[in-house]
Amino acid sequence: MPYLIRKILHPNDWLEVAFAFEDDDVRPEPGQFYMFRLSPYAPILPRPFAVYDYDGAYMTFLVRMVGEGTWLIWENEEGLELYGPYGKPFHAPDDKPLVIVGGGIGIAPLNFIAEDYIDSGGRYLRSYLGFDGKKFDCGFLEQYSRPIITTEGYITDKVQIIYPDEVVVACGPRPMLETMCKIVPPENPLYLSLESRMACGVGACLGCVTDFPLVYKKTDSGLVLSKTKQVKVCTDGPVFKREIV
Amino acid sequence: MNRTEITFLDHTFKNPVIAASGTYGYGEDYRRYYKPEILGGIALKGLTLEPRAGNKGIRLWETPSGVLNSIGLQNPGLDVFARKVLPKVVKLGKKTEILVNIAGHRSEDYMKVLDFFKDYPEFLYELNLSCPNVDDGMAFGSDPDEAYKLIKKLRRNCELKLIVKLTPNCPSITEVALAVEEAGADALSMINTIQGFAVDYRRKKIPFDNVYAGLSGPAIKPIALKMVFDTAQVVKIPIIGIGGIRSATDVIEYLLAGATLVQVGTANFNNPRAMKNIIEDLEKYCRKTDERCADLVGSLQL
């Protein structure tokens, strides 16, 4: 099981936690997540966190300290166990330009997806990162993706143009993802990394199942929601493709 | 010598530890941690005649030492289950006991599902009586007369082993237990989740679309244990104890209180290896004390 080796508390309540692997641990792929079991007693449910970075040796998570569970990772690592990697891996096609759009903590899975893209030979990466006042300095994305960053308002307002052939991957609050579904042209593949409350993480309990607006149809006034899809975020996703009918 | 081996409804269970319905899918989802065959048995996700999409919105809410769930019995329905899932279940059933959990709105729903399974007498059938009855909104399991009528109907022409899963959300669970025993139930499993409520203070809203949800986990153990104990005093049919079990000692407590088997559910979420650990610790305990699980059943000194 992966074990904790480093915790870094950043300004604005951002926490980076790094783990090393034991020899027979399965290694993560982009798009995947782990369940953090904070204690055998309480909180009783583990918390899902997307893998933020994996350099072949160490795995890092980016966590927003928002409540009891997340503060426990910083304050007390006794009893912390990691279960995973869970979820379907996602590799952005390395022969197409990639656009990353992140809202707040949504940056976490996007960073690993972007790193993997560059490592696989991807050459054209750009990004939009929105923060609700509390910015996080993401070294990799700042260096490799010429990010447009906002710390107030909606990041989607800044997404003015998507070029032909670009593949877009977005992660953030649900309203942001719904907006992305409508503004990214239908010819551009759009992928969304979803989050959900979870219990088992392995597809057994159906607690993470959500009805997400994933299917859109072309109309004269643009893209309009056609129907929602019922998906199991932990095993069908967390990354899902927008569908155009 | 297998000290954890125990007989229940003429089936020999390698140990009394069963995975609880709704927490273990159809038996395959925890394979990366251990082989499901090590379990005494697996209660499958609840099956209904027609497919059900389950509840929209939030389905989980954490509580101190527990979880509120409002999944809504999402399942593909009998038809798809029979075609896509049953073959794997039959295969798994050669190595561990299978409890097919069935839910319904009307007696006809249960009957049609049981009728399909008459060719599978090797499984056990756990009847979930907590689904609101289509007629008056009360779950079958809350009223002894409704429960009696339902089980009496299902028992007719049905040779399968019927375990009735009781809900604690009723005025008297022992009355319902006695009623279904008289109606011909072969065994009882208790308890299902306890009805609870949550408030999202940040949004000033009720998190669940269905308003109420079911509480499970360590918080409910004292209540479930009491109900098992009280029921064991008045019924003759065997009981499966369910509620907040997360250790071998919890298992032993339920056996002593009168349960022959137990189910483990919520503990799987906190630790996917929980059931494996429980079984190993139970074996260790029985070796150390030179006791057998079968001898512990109902042997509380009163």
Q: Per the structure block, which two tokens stand in for B261?
A: 């088997």
Does A66 lie at the interface with B, CB-CB under 8 angstroms? no
| Cα separation, A133 vs A150, whole angstroms | 8
| Cα separation, A167 vs A191, whole angstroms | 8
Interface of B with A (CB under 8 A): 22-25, 29-30, 32, 45, 53-54, 56, 58-62, 64-67, 69, 71, 74, 217-218, 266, 268-272
Among B30, B32, B60, select the one facing A207 at the smallest CB separation.
B60
pLDDT of A56 reads 94
| Cα separation, A50 vs A107, whole angstroms | 10
**Where in the sequence numbering do the catalytic residues of B fall?**
131
pLDDT of A96 reads 97
pLDDT of B174 reads 98
The residue of B31, B85, B245, B270 whose CB has the most chain A CBs within 10 angstroms, and thus the best one to mutate to test that interface, is B270
Dump the DSSP string for B119-146: G-TTSEEEEE--SBPTTTS-BGGG-HHH
Beta bridge partners of B132: B139
What is the three-class DSSP state of B227? helix
| Cα separation, B102 vs B123, whole angstroms | 12
pLDDT of B139 reads 82
Q: Which value does ipTM take for this structure? A: 0.95
pLDDT of B134 reads 59
Contact A204 B217 (CB under 8 A): no
Name residues whose C-beta falls within 8 Å of residue A155's C-beta, 6 or more positions apart in sequence: A101, A102, A103, A128, A129, A130, A172, A176
State the amino acid at position B220 in one-letter form. I
State how far residue B181 is from chain A, nearest Cα, in angstroms.
Answer: 30
| Cα separation, B241 vs B229, whole angstroms | 9
Mean pLDDT of chain A: 95
Beta bridge partners of A100: A127, A169
| Cα separation, B197 vs B40, whole angstroms | 33
State how far residue B257 is from chain A, nearest Cα, in angstroms.
Answer: 24
Residue A138 Cα to chain centre, angstroms:
14
Q: Which residues of B touch A231 (CB under 8 A)?
A: none
| Cα separation, B181 vs B255, whole angstroms | 20
Name residues whose C-beta falls within 8 Å of residue B77's C-beta, 6 or more positions apart in sequence: B47, B48, B49, B50, B51, B52
- A34-80: pLDDT as tens digits: 999 999 998 999 999 999 999 999 999 999 988 878 888 888 778 89
Contact in structure between B129 and B167 (CB atoms under 8 Å): yes
| Cα separation, B254 vs B252, whole angstroms | 5
Contact in structure between B32 and B56 (CB atoms under 8 Å): no
Helices marked H in B143-291 — which ranges?
144-155, 173-183, 221-234, 248-257, 267-270, 274-289
Contact B60 A44 (CB under 8 A): no
What is the three-class DSSP state of A177? helix
Contact A200 B272 (CB under 8 A): yes
State how far residue B23 is from chain A, nearest Cα, in angstroms.
Answer: 5
Q: Which residues of A touch B22 (CB under 8 A)?
A: 205-206
Q: Could you tell me how many CB contacts below 8 A there are between chain A and chain B?
A: 78
pLDDT in tens, chain B (302 residues): 899 999 999 999 999 999 999 999 999 999 999 999 999 999 999 999 999 999 999 999 999 999 999 999 999 999 999 999 999 999 999 999 999 999 998 999 999 999 999 999 999 999 999 876 655 567 899 999 999 999 999 999 899 999 999 999 999 999 999 999 999 999 999 999 999 999 999 999 999 999 999 999 999 999 999 999 999 999 999 999 999 999 999 999 999 999 999 999 999 999 999 999 999 999 999 999 999 999 999 999 88
pTM > 0.80 = yes
Q: A203: closest CA among B267, B272, B247?
A: B272
Beta bridge partners of A243: A215
Q: Which residues of B touch A43 (CB under 8 A)?
A: 62
| Cα separation, B180 vs A232, whole angstroms | 36
pLDDT of A50 reads 98
Q: Which residue reads 């065959």 in tokens?
A: B37
Among A37, A44, A211, select the one facing B66 at the smallest CB separation.
A44
State how far residue B43 is from chain A, nearest Cα, in angstroms.
Answer: 12
Chain B's closest residue to A208, CA to CA, is B59
State how far residue A41 is from chain B, nearest Cα, in angstroms.
Answer: 7
Among A43, A204, A209, select the one facing B62 at the smallest CB separation.
A43
What is the three-class DSSP state of A203? coil
Q: Per the structure block, which two tokens stand in for B16?
A: 């009394």
Dump the DSSP string for A25-90: PPPP-TT-EEEEE--SSSS-S-EEEEEEEE-SSEEEEEEE--SHHHHHHHH--TT-EEEEEES---
- Give one word for A177, left, alpha or beta, with left for phi > 0 and alpha for psi -120 to 50: alpha
Measure CA of the first residue to CA of the last residue in chain B; give whole Å.
30
Q: Which residue reads 């003429």 in tokens?
A: B10
Helices marked H in A76-192 — which ranges?
107-119, 139-144, 174-183
- A107-152: pLDDT as tens digits: 999 999 999 999 999 999 999 999 988 899 998 999 999 999 999 9
pLDDT of B45 reads 98
